[in-house]
Amino acid sequence: MLSEVIATRYVTPLREGGSLPGIVEADDLGTYVMKFTGAGQGRKTLVAEVICGRLARRLGLRIPELVTIQLDPVIGLAEPDQEVQELLKASGGLNLGMDYLPGSIGFDPLAYEVDPKEAGKVVWFDALINNVDRSWRNPNMLVWHGDLWLIDHGATMIWHHNWPTAKAAAAKPYNASDHALAPFGPDLSAAAADLAPLVTEELLTEVAAEVPDAWLADEPGFDTTDAVRRAYVEALLPRVATIHERITLGEPSPRKRSLPPGWLLTDPWPHEKKSKDSGK
Ligand SMILES: Nc1ncnc2c1ncn2[C@@H]1O[C@H](COP(=O)(O)OP(=O)(O)OP(=O)(O)O)[C@@H](O)[C@H]1O
Ligand SMILES: [Mg+2]
């Protein structure tokens, strides 16, 4: 089970995120990025965050710890922004929290090198969960203490938006030509050899069990929350063995190496240098 904390202070909204996540402090003295049940993207986004986030962790990929957060909307009363007020009001009860990585920066492929093995693992994992939100436009990865961290798994497993078509949708290939790590020569065979044997029915059942009942209840077409959990397992499991053969990486593009900013390349003290050179 995910640990549960209670939000004690709403700090600030994160406006880069489409769902307007917020930074909150909690009763365990932790600081979290909170994703709200009342956000327009709906509770399935949170289900995807839990299943994929916990799976990533079990596969040894770097992802901040997830928790559930109890929210009393009263903690946001001082927040002046109407949009934030409404989001908080609509999200009383259980929400999702991700450990906040202070001082992390957004991944920039021109400034940060990823080795083909690590790139392969991330692309393979994204193919498995059908992540459509790790493109170079919006990489949803952070660099923290020199390491790459994965965030934001809300836009994955699109089949859960239309369960009757899940089987057919889950069988589809994965187009990674836009993936932020495609230019790093991802080693997909090595990733499949390392990771696929770990993704067993048992592991998937365990991660699905971590989704709170409240986010699965009353799903049309299912009698119980466990039946919904089972549907996630059944959609992911058949992809494990062969998904690496069905990943399109597109044309290999020679990645441009980053250059230092212009002001670092020009000599800031040309006169001093000249006078030293001329022995004055
Ligand atoms: N754990 C974290 N630690 C530090 N900053 C974070 C963390 N999680 C998210 N952020 C910051 O908040 C931004 C929005 O987060 P995230 O991408 O998860 O939200 P979203 O609403 O799902 O976004 P999107 O618009 O990509 O759908 C990130 O781009 C990043 O700058
Ligand atoms: Mg994002």
Q: Which of 31, 67, 140, 143 to mutate to test the pocket of ligand 1 (most atoms within 8 A of CB)?
A: 140
pLDDT tier for residue 272 given thresholds of 50, 70 and 90:
low
Count of alpha carbons within 13 angstroms of residue 5, beta-carbon side: 21
What confidence category does residue 270 fall into, taking pLDDT thresholds of 50, 70 and 90? low
Confidence of residue 251 (pLDDT cuts 50, 70, 90): low
Atom number in ligand 1 closest to CA 104? 4
pLDDT in tens, 65-105: 999 999 999 998 888 999 999 999 999 999 999 999 999 99
Least confident of 81-90, 136-145, 193-202, 244-253: 244-253
Neighbours of ion ligand 2 (CB under 5 A): 140, 152
Look at residue 78 in the predicted model and tell me its pLDDT.
87
For residue 89, what pLDDT is reported? Answer: 95
Ligand 1, CB within 6 Å, residue ranges: 14, 16-19, 21, 33, 64, 98-101, 104, 106, 133, 138, 140, 142, 151-152, 154
pLDDT at 170: 83
Cα distance between residue 213 and residue 96, in whole Å: 13
pLDDT value of residue 250: 78
Question: Which residue has its alpha carbon closest to ligand 1 atom 13?
Answer: 17
What are the pLDDT digits (tens) for 234-244?
Answer: 999 999 999 99
**CA 202 to centroid of ligand 2, rounded, Å:** 29
Give the global pTM.
Answer: 0.90
Question: Which ligand approaches the C-alpha of residue 154 most closely?
Answer: 1
Q: What is the pLDDT of residues 126-135, one digit of tens each?
A: 999 999 999 9
The whole-angstrom separation of Cα 261 and Cα 268 is 13
- Residue by residue, DSSP assigns the chain as --EEEEEEEEEEE-TTSTT--EEEEETTS-EEEEE-TTSTT-HHHHHHHHHHHHHHHHTT-----EEEEEE-GGGGTT---HHHHHHHHTT-EEEEEEE--TT-EE--TTT----HHHHHHHHHHHHHHT----BSSS--EEEETTEEEE----S--GGGGSGGGHHHHHTS-EE-TTBTTGGG---HHHHHHHHGGG--HHHHHHHHHTS-GGGTTT-TT-SSHHHHHHHHHHHHHHHHTTGGGGEE--S--PPPPP---HHHHS-S-HHHHHHHHTT-
Give pLDDT, residue 280: 42
C-alpha distance from residue 99 to each of 61, 104, 227, 244, 257 (Å):
15, 12, 29, 30, 32
| Per-residue model confidence as pLDDT tens digits over 16-66 | 888 899 999 999 999 999 999 999 888 999 999 999 999 999 999 999 999
d(C-alpha 277, C-alpha 59), whole Å: 58
Rounded to the nearest 10 degrees, the angle between the axes of helix 225-240 and helix 116-129 is 130
Ligand 1 atom 19 nearest Cα: 17
Question: For all residues of the chain together, what is the average pLDDT?
Answer: 91
Ligand nearest to the Cα of 19, by number: 1
Residue 219 in this model has a pLDDT that exceeds 50: yes
Residue 138 clears pLDDT 70, i.e. is over it: yes
**pLDDT above 90 (res 227):** yes
How far is ligand 2, taken at its centre, from the CA of residue 208, in Å?
22
Cα 33–Cα 235–Cα 57 angle in degrees, nearest 5: 35
pLDDT of residue 181: 97
Question: Residue 187 and residue 148: Cα distance in Å, rounded?
Answer: 17
From 2-6, 75-79, 93-97, 265-269, the region with the lowest mean pLDDT: 265-269
CA distances for 274 relative to 8, 233, 267, 270, 277, angstroms = 60, 70, 11, 6, 5
- What pLDDT is attached to residue 17? 82
Ligand 1 centroid vs 106 CA: distance in angstroms?
9
Share of the chain above pLDDT 90, in %: 81
Q: What is the pLDDT of residue 60?
A: 98
Cβ contacts of 209 within 8 Å, gap of 6 or more: 229
For residue 171, the model assigns a pLDDT of 86
Residue 175 is predicted with a pLDDT of: 96
CA of 243 to the centre of ligand 2 (A): 24
What does the domain layout of the chain look like in residue ranges?
3-104, 106-152+159-248
